[in-house]
């Protein structure tokens, strides 16, 4: 395929994947009268920027957004700490039962989230974490995929780094913090980006454990808008969805240069 053909194919694919996002933006700028026009028009006749003002008036959108950012950021950071620590142990250290424990962690990736949802809720309830930030954050800290991904990256680093540092008198914690973590920025950024977007967009778990208005995340807020006014103000629902997608999009754009590098380097050595 020629260079022109490759660029043309890339452009077509880019437009195909961007179409839902562009359609959401178009709907968020339409008035209620234009929303149900058939055949639908891509561009609004007169962009209704007031839709974004109205959705902020009807919902505590800033509060929901703040909750989502706090929960997503905190959960992502803690998950990176736990996943990288466990990955270092599985990739570098030697201890009894290492292979069995790693297989146990990996097997958790095969269990659908819906299967553990009820037991997880019961445990959260017994610990008194319903309707709290702890209930949103703590159950989401473990990631079998995250441990596997960072471990693969650590395995790709020369073993000489660890042995030389140990001969110089550096502790295992020192080797982890001073050598392995700085070298694993691409893998950590990749896992952090995927984790943040996943937590930020999460609806089911927050919907189960949160009842108080002041603790609701933005997916719950928009879902509530659909339930109460969805057939009356669908343009405001689209405006809220457009606001919701901005932080996740910014995080992805900022860290995208690490994503491919992180995926490739994590699979160098198994």
What pLDDT, on a 0 to 100 scale, did the predictor assign at position 70?
95
Q: How far is CA 65 from CA 25, 69, 171, 187, in A?
A: 19, 6, 41, 27
Numbers of helices and strands, H then E, in the chain:
15, 0
Q: How far is CA 74 from CA 67, 78, 140, 190, in A?
A: 11, 6, 11, 16
Three-state SS at 244: helix
Q: Which residues contact 243 (CB under 8 A, 6 or more apart)?
A: 52, 55, 61, 65, 218
Taking alpha carbons only, the member of 188, 185, 191, 160 closest to residue 175 is 160
The answer to whether 222 touches 240, Cβ cutoff 8 Å, is: yes
How do the pLDDT tens digits run along the chain, 270 residues long? 677 788 888 888 888 888 888 888 888 888 877 777 778 788 888 888 888 888 888 888 889 999 999 999 999 999 999 999 999 999 998 888 888 988 888 888 888 878 888 899 999 999 989 999 999 999 888 888 889 889 988 988 888 888 888 888 888 899 999 999 998 888 898 889 989 999 999 988 998 999 888 899 999 888 877 765 545 678 888 888 888 998 888 888 887 777 766 555 554 444
Distance CA 153, CA 106 (A): 16
What pLDDT, on a 0 to 100 scale, did the predictor assign at position 258?
73
The answer to whether 239 touches 173, Cβ cutoff 8 Å, is: no
The secondary structure element, H or E, covering residue 220 is helix 218-229
The answer to whether 217 touches 206, Cβ cutoff 8 Å, is: yes
What is the value of pTM for the model shown? 0.85
Question: What domains are there in the chain, each with its CATH number?
Answer: 1-48 (no CATH), 54-266 (1.10.3720.10)
Question: What number of CA atoms fall less than 13 Å from residue 50's CA on the CB side?
Answer: 5
Distance CA 253, CA 250 (A): 5
What pLDDT, on a 0 to 100 scale, did the predictor assign at position 270?
42
Q: Is the dihedral of CA 62, 68, 71, 72 positive or negative?
A: negative
Distance CA 123, CA 136 (A): 13
Taking alpha carbons only, the member of 81, 78, 80, 100 closest to residue 90 is 100
């Amino acid at each position: 395929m020629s260079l022109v053909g490759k660029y043309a194919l890339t452009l077509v694919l880019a437009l195909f994947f961007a179409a839902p996002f562009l359609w959401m933006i178009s709907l968020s700028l339409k008035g209620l009268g234009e929303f149900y026009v058939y055949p639908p028009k891509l561009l609004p006749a007169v962009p209704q920027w007031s839709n974004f003002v109205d959705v902020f008036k009807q919902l505590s959108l800033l509060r929901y957004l703040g909750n989502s950012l706090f929960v997503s950021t905190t959960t992502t950071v803690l998950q990176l700490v736990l996943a990288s620590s466990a990955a270092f142990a599985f990739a570098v250290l030697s201890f009894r039962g290492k292979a069995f424990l790693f297989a146990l962690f990996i097997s958790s990736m095969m269990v659908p989230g819906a299967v553990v949802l009820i037991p997880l809720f019961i445990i959260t309830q017994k610990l008194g974490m319903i309707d709290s930030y702890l209930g949103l954050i703590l159950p989401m800290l473990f990631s079998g995929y995250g441990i596997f991904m960072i471990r693969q990256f650590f395995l790709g680093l020369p073993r000489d780094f660890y042995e030389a540092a140990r001969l110089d008198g550096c502790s295992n914690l020192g080797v982890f913090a001073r050598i392995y973590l700085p070298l694993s920025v691409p893998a950590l950024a990749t896992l952090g980006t995927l984790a943040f977007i996943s937590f930020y967009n999460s609806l089911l778990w927050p919907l189960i454990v949160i009842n108080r208005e002041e603790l609701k995340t933005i997916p719950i807020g928009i879902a509530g808008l659909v339930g109460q006014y969805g057939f009356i103000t669908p343009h405001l629902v689209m405006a809220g969805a457009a606001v919701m997608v901005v932080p996740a999009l910014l995080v992805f754009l900022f860290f995208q240069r690490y994503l491919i590098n992180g995926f490739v380097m994590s699979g160098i050595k198994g």
